[in-house]
Amino acid sequence: MHTIAAGDALLSPSVTRRVIDRMARRPAPHLPAQAGAVGLTPRESEVLSLIARGLSNREIAAALVVEESTIRTHVKRLLMKLGLRDRVQAVIYAYENGLSRPLP
């Protein structure tokens, strides 16, 4: 419960990595050039992109040079705005909507 309340992944990192790898192997969807997460702030979109790369809240906070509590707030808000249940759905959303691409 504490993990979920903190905005961290419920799944183990190895399971999350497999989900990301499987999504990365899927063909890229045919999307318009400006595809993205409608209604998200630029920072929320950036956080979503980093979630899709498999980063934890702590890693995202370090990358963006902000407090981890700020990232938890961004994660909660972007999940709410997009109607997503958890980080796994956020990863899938990011890949399906062209917000994230597999790393080379």
Tokens at 47, concatenated: 């956080």
- pTM reported for the whole predicted model: 0.66
| pLDDT tens digits, one per residue of 53-90 | 999 999 999 999 999 999 999 999 999 999 999 999 99
Q: Domains in the chain and their CATH numbers?
A: 2-28+36-96 (3.40.50.2300)
| pLDDT tens digits, one per residue of 12-46 | 677 777 777 776 666 655 444 344 567 899 999 99
